[in-house]
Amino acid sequence: MVEEYSSVAASPNGDLKNCLVATGGDDCTVRVYSMISGRQRLCLTGHARKVFAVCFSDPKYTVGGKCVVISLDQTNEIRIWEKEKGELLRILNATSPITIHQLPDYEKGGH
């Protein structure tokens, strides 16, 4: 069976050896892979609908001192996961529709 992914994000830690890739999928999961080995490290479950956005927190910004993976599903449920062990830290429910925007990369001269 071929898995369908709606989104993909790479961790912004700057160290390729420890870089992770997260995917959000039609199967309501978030999967985290090692960029170097390609092996799946985590499969995060709990979303009731398709996950269509994932991102990693910048290492400078943490939740309870932990770097996180953030996922958003079709019901506007946001889940915040600890990125190393996959512990679910928080669930937020947006009360209005969420629009996903690509933010400019200011380090590369974006405006």
Q: How far apart are CA 4 and CA 15, in angstroms?
A: 28
CB proximity list for 13: less than 8 A, separation 6 or greater: 19, 59, 67
- Quick one: pLDDT band at residue 17, thresholds 50, 70, 90? confident
Q: How far apart are CA 17 and CA 75, in angstroms?
A: 35
- Quick one: pLDDT band at residue 12, thresholds 50, 70, 90? confident
- pTM for the model stands at 0.78
pLDDT of residue 58: 82
Mean pLDDT along residues 80-100: 82
Mean pLDDT along residues 74-94: 91
pLDDT of residue 31: 96
Contact 58, 68 (CB under 8 A): no
pLDDT of residue 57: 87
Q: How far apart are CA 21 and CA 40, in angstroms?
A: 9
Structure tokens at 66: 């932990």
Using the predicted structure, report yes or no on whether residue 88 has a pLDDT greater than 70: yes
